[in-house]
Structure 1
């Protein structure tokens, strides 16, 4: 199997804003009138996301994010809602402000083995992302650092392949404690508010640009992983 290098894969633009509850109320009402919800969402167009982020003993991913390094990456495990039977290993990377993502399915048994400290099984698969994670675990000491959980409302717009998300009630848990227990209650990672994200391919349609405008707000770096590490 031939795997394209990441600099040859399509990259997307990503804009982020932190908005308050009042701005969220106005914006979400506007978006619901203009765009369709993600078809995988539950009632009300929302679903829960739970992610476990990995980092080095020196917090390389966190430091590179804070410092605005042009080429950076982070690994995470992710499941949706209360269903821990479907989990993905994801590698998110940024190149000169553009973002991309690789992902691979990981079974619940594999996740349990990984979280127990065993990684040799990663070499038993022909999945390139497994092999890369193994090399980073052994070479850089990559290990679980923080859990991030939030409720997401997602909207889609086909022109420009646009995805608009509103991430609410962002919470965090340190380490990998009970990542596979969806009933665990985590602490708040930020004051009440919402993270607005807009992702698109080559261009942002004018309709979307106008729809997501929040007076007085400018796009700014806003990492949910970085927010989750504030309490370390």
Structure 2
């Protein structure tokens, strides 16, 4: 298995006025993500996995230092590039592993046809197979939101603003843009996430004024599970 790259992650729930002020500061020193639209944003759709005992949800709510969750994710409605992701924490530091999926593979996983993963040469697919088999992980909740990302190369810093968070409740229709998030409840939050490697450059720390905000354990998955 590949060596995990551990990163720091800080989250803050912020107001609209905070968002506007922070965005106006960041745009002078940080780069936009090349995958964004003309407004500097992109839409993310994720299908999160959990089991009947709500393992992933409970680990998040309890704030366990070592935890994990699986999701299938794609961007801007473009199904040419879909990822299976495993996001986890080890002693409070974050890591992410991912592998590409096809539409057909996604549909097989959603429909419970998972035997093919057992014999895959991809370790992440084998791990998901094992956990769907032995932990009874299943696709559980759709989550949509808009992300506005900023990149600052020193320290490998990524600052993102997530808004317009909606949920498809228990819908598994990952590729149906009409029935899931459009008719769901909205979570009215703006979430700033700051991710970095070993250090956070002083210029970024000053801009986002971390010392004046309380860190948040906000989880888009957990927030959307409130509704079902």
Distance 1:25 1:76 in 2: 30
Secondary structure of the structure 1 residue equivalent to 2:17: helix
Distance 2:17 2:185 in 1: 19
Q: Deviations over 1:111-167 (max 9, x none)?
A: 011111211121242100000000000000000111111010001011100000000
Question: Which residue number in structure 2 is paired with residue 148 of structure 1?
Answer: 143
Question: Which residue number in structure 2 is paired with residue 134 of structure 1?
Answer: 129
Secondary structure of the structure 1 residue equivalent to 2:213: coil
Distance 1:53 1:43 in 2: 28
Distance 2:210 2:196 in 1: 18
1:1-232 aligned at under 5 Å gives the runs: 3-4=1-2, 8-184=3-179, 185-191=182-188, 193-213=189-209, 216-232=212-228
Contact 2:47 2:172 (8 Å CA) reproduced = no
Distance 1:39 1:104 in 2: 21
Deviation at 1:34, TM superposition (A): 2.1
Unaligned runs of 5+ in 2: none
Secondary structure of the structure 2 residue equivalent to 1:231: coil
| RMSD of equivalent CA atoms | 1.5
Distance 2:211 2:131 in 1: 42
TM-score when normalising by structure 2: 0.94
Deviates most, 16-25 or 138-147 = 16-25
Q: How many correspondences in the alignment?
A: 226
Contact 1:93 1:99 (8 Å CA) reproduced = yes
Deviation at 1:24, TM superposition (A): 1.3
Secondary structure of the structure 2 residue equivalent to 1:152: strand
Deviation at 1:176, TM superposition (A): 3.9
Secondary structure of the structure 1 residue equivalent to 2:172: coil
Unaligned runs of 5+ in 1: none
Secondary structure of the structure 2 residue equivalent to 1:9: coil
Deviation at 1:186, TM superposition (A): 4.3
The 1:141/1:169 distance shift into structure 2, 3 A limit, reads same
Q: Deviations over 1:48-97 (max 9, x none)?
A: 00001001110011101110111100000000001122110000010111
The 1:22/1:76 distance shift into structure 2, 3 A limit, reads same
